[in-house]
Structure 1
Amino acid sequence: MPEALRTTARRDEDVHFERVAGPITYRARTDKPVQYVTVANGQGAVLGCLWANDEDDAAGWTVRTAGGDEAFNRGALYVSRLRDAKARGISPTAALAELLRYSDPANPSHVVPGSLTGAPSLAALRERLAGD
């Protein structure tokens, strides 16, 4: 094929990148106190915690390291549910309450009924889960 046929205008054009927004999410960090609920598997083993702080519009999933791959993988479901709640304009603590209210212990993982409590900080919650 002759060289002239392989040359295209695209080679000489400047490339311009545009920032594209990702999914709407709560902030992933806070230094303030958090409310949290415990998530367990069908056998009752703790997989991690869902936490929230309205003041910083923050919420997320903190995995229990001892829960292994199951804990890490099940967390994706709850992160997705938090994203859905944020997209609907629900406050972080209202999202926790909703997840608690609609959780079913018959599922492979669930929010433990009556587990809503607080921690002085996200760091303290993570430390607690690391020690379990």
Structure 2
Amino acid sequence: MSLKDEPAFQTVLAPDSYPRTTASPIRYMPILKDDVVIGYLWAATTDDAAQYVPREQAGDPALDAAVAWTRRLRWAKANGVSPLAALRHWSGEPEDGRAGKVPVGRPFELPTLAALEELAAAG
């Protein structure tokens, strides 16, 4: 292999995470950065799924936050926190420079994950 060759990356170990899809209704909270909605943190109401969905029009800050939320959700899963409890865990915490913040309040509910993905894409 020379420096001109494309490197081959291989995941050796990744922490366990919640499933990223669900057929269940979901609860979600907006993720704010500088008082702008950059994405949504969601949890399934009847199974073990949870994830962060970036808001398309929020650009790079929304995508950067995805890395932080993946790390946070992996921490929650490793510590036995249920997805719905994880949704509430960060509510009201100070804004993180990368992840943003979850405002205080009750989660919103949608019948499907697809509905939230449409919301994130709509702007």
Does TM, scored on the shorter chain, surpass 0.5?
yes
Which segment drifts farther, 84-93 or 51-60? 51-60
Indicate conservation of the 8 Å contact 2:27/2:45, yes or no.
Answer: no
Instruction: Give the total of aligned pairs.
Output: 111
Is 1:58 the counterpart of 2:33? The answer is: no
CA–CA separation in structure 2 for the residues paired with 1:115 and 1:39 = 13
Q: 1:76, CA displacement in angstroms?
A: 1.3
Deviation at 1:113, TM superposition (A): 2.0
Q: Which protein is bigger by CA-based radius of gyration?
A: 1
Secondary structure of the residue aligned to 2:101 is strand
Structure 1 stretches (4+) deviating beyond 2 angstroms?
none
Q: Which runs of 5+ in 1 are unaligned?
A: 1-19
Give TM-score, length-normalised by structure 1: 0.77
Structure 2 length-normalised TM = 0.82
- The alignment-based identity, stated in percent, is 36
Return the letter of the residue paired with 2:30.
T
Q: Does 1:39 align with 2:35?
A: no
Task: Give the conservation status (yes or no) of the 8 Å contact 1:52–1:59.
Answer: yes
Q: What secondary structure, in the 3-state scheme, does the structure 2 residue paired with 1:111 have?
A: coil
Distance 1:36 1:50, change over 3 A: same
Q: CA deviation at 1:21?
A: 5.4
Q: Which residue of 1 aligns with 2:85?
A: 94
SS in 2 for 1:123: helix
For residue 41 of structure 2, give the secondary structure of its aligned residue in structure 1: strand
Name the CA shift for 1:86/1:78 in 2 (closer, same or farther; >3 Å). same
In 2, the alpha carbon distance for the partners of 1:91 and 1:110 equals 19
Instruction: For structure 2, list consecutive stretches of 5 or more residues without a partner in the other structure.
Output: 1-11
Q: Select which of 104, 107, 110 maps to 2:94.
A: 104
